[in-house]
Amino acid sequence: MKDRTLAALVSFAAGAMSLAAEVVWLRWIAFVELNTPQTLGLVLGVFLFGIVSGALLGRDLCARLPDPDELKQRMGLLLLASGLLDGLAPAALTWMGDPNLLPLAMYCFTYLTATVKATLFPIVHHLGSQGAGQATGRSVARVYFMNILGATASPLLVSFWLLDHLGSDRVLQGVGLLALALATLVLARTRTSGWHRAGTLLAAPAALGLVLVSPGDRVLRHLAFGADFTRLPLFIENRQGIVHTTHNPTLGDGVFGGNVYDGRINLDPYRDSNGITRAYLLTVLHPHPRRALEIGLGSGSWARVLAAIPSLERLDIVEINPAYLEVLRHYPAVRPLLADPRVHIHIDDGRRWLRRYRGAPYDLILSNTTHHWRAYATNLLSVQFLEIVQAHLAPDGIFAYNSTGSPDVLYTASRRFPFAFEWSPGYFVYAGRRDFRHPEPRAARRRLQATLARLGLPARGPAFERLAERLTHPRWIDAATLEEAVGRPLERVTDRNLLTEYRRSGRPAAFP
């Protein structure tokens, strides 16, 4: 193999390995940082800083080592270092004792892996243009093109296929194994026996060791809950994200998406460990809903309540991550949703699905919204999204969604709907074109009783009376009252200002 061919091959591999590693590190750091919007910028900044550092190191190596054979030795050793760094990173994170050091360690790994791979780039350009003569420009372009090709193909392959079939830890270890294989190939082509012999002898057992120390999916389990893996009955990673559950016999098992609380497996409004009464309130507020839509499946508990409404004829559920279907299959309390002919589950983005929807309007729309401060939460909180929802809501329909404590969410709803209020306590916004705040108590109680009975829950007794009183006489908060309590002018959430993602609640602790 000619040096120019070898340089093009390593250039392709360096681009592919670098971007594959970045995809994995971004996923892991976002998991630890709860997918806040700042995470992408921080990871990208550290990654680019590593590329700059590596490029400078590579330039210095090319200036100090004019001999191509010596450069190949350094290239082989850099590949060896890259392979060990990527291959052992999952095990290193699993073995870390202090979880508070994990974010710092992960940013350090991101910087180091970018630096080592970027150091290869000037070297492969130098080797690829050796002896090219008048064709130097063509040689440089070929090496550059191969790097771009690898950097383009790799994240597509990783993001759309490998994460579904291997998982992120195996992807990173695969990157390490590829680097070790290339290191062996490069070092085998060097003529100096010392580095050649040492590098080749190190590469083969290192590759085997990476497989032997593989921690499986324990890396992400460790990032979520340290070393106590027994608390995770269900753990699923796919290209859409990471979903896991935690065991809690008292409150009901918790469901987490991207390491952030999504809900609990609980239908009992008397226990109300997951705020399930907010779903039961819909049965009280609307006298006869026939069609309902839920955006975001979560634990499936809220969908079970909607499906139990006696008058309901159809329930559409839009969920972007198919892993939540495994949650339904795993837990008997929510499994009936899969067999209910009235329930139709669509794996799609909620906003995109609504844009394409051409069916009849809905009497109830429930958006099981994630925390307002997470990245992309604006897509389900902005006034533009409310316009889409309003177009599919029946004239007497009710739209309910979680503000998760952001006062600007209620204000935004009040700018779009004639009637928009937050139920207190609960941080849940209910909006519509009609005033739904005062349901007829006796009819509302009967609807509540019928819904509870269909779920096999008590519908009589002192506990029921307290629940019925609370739901048939709800306490409402309007935007003006909330603005006065917050002490600042509330603002509309739009697709462009990302208001909730970069501004925390600002809600007084004493205010419900």
* 3-class secondary-structure state, position 423: strand
| pLDDT on residue 509 | 47
Q: HEC states along 188-246?
A: HCCCCHHHHHHHHHHHHHHHHHHHHCCCCCHHHHHHHHCCCHHHCCEEEEECCEEEEEE
Q: What is the pLDDT of residues 31-69, one digit of tens each?
A: 999 999 999 999 999 999 999 999 999 999 999 988 888
User: Could you give the 3-state DSSP secondary structure of residue 491?
Assistant: coil
Enter the tokens of residue 476. 């409402």
The pLDDT score that the predictor gives to residue 134 is 56
Question: How many angstroms separate the CA atoms of 3 and 14, rounded?
Answer: 16
Domains of the chain, CATH where assigned: 3-222 (1.20.1250.20), 254-502 (3.40.50.150)
Judge if pTM exceeds 0.85.
yes
Spatial contact of 315 and 292, defined as CB atoms under 8 Å apart: yes
The stretches in the chain having pLDDT less than 50 are 226-227, 509-512
Kindly give, in sequence order, each residue whose CB lies less than 8 Å from that of residue 291, ignoring residues fewer than 6 positions away.
312, 313, 314, 315, 316, 360, 361, 362, 363, 364, 394
* Residue partners of 460: CB distance under 8 A and separation at least 6: 449
The CA-to-CA distance between both ends of the chain, in Å, stands at 71
Residue 347 CB neighbour total at 10 angstroms: 15
- CB-CB neighbours of 477 under 10 Å: 19
The amino acid that residue 113 corresponds to is T
Q: What is the pLDDT of residue 94?
A: 82
pLDDT of amino acid 127: 87
pLDDT at 510: 43
Place of tokens 């897509």: 379
Burial of 114 (0-12, 13-18, 19+ CB in 10 A): buried
Q: Where are the alpha helices (DSSP H) in 100-190?
A: 102-128, 136-157, 163-165, 168-188
Half-sphere exposure for 383 (CA within 13 Å, toward CB) = 14
Question: What pLDDT does residue 229 have?
Answer: 55
296 and 243 in contact (C-beta within 8 Å)? no
pLDDT for res 75: 92
Give the pLDDT of residue 55.
95
Alpha-carbon distance of 188 to 320, in angstroms, equals: 48
Tokens describing residue 194:
């010392």
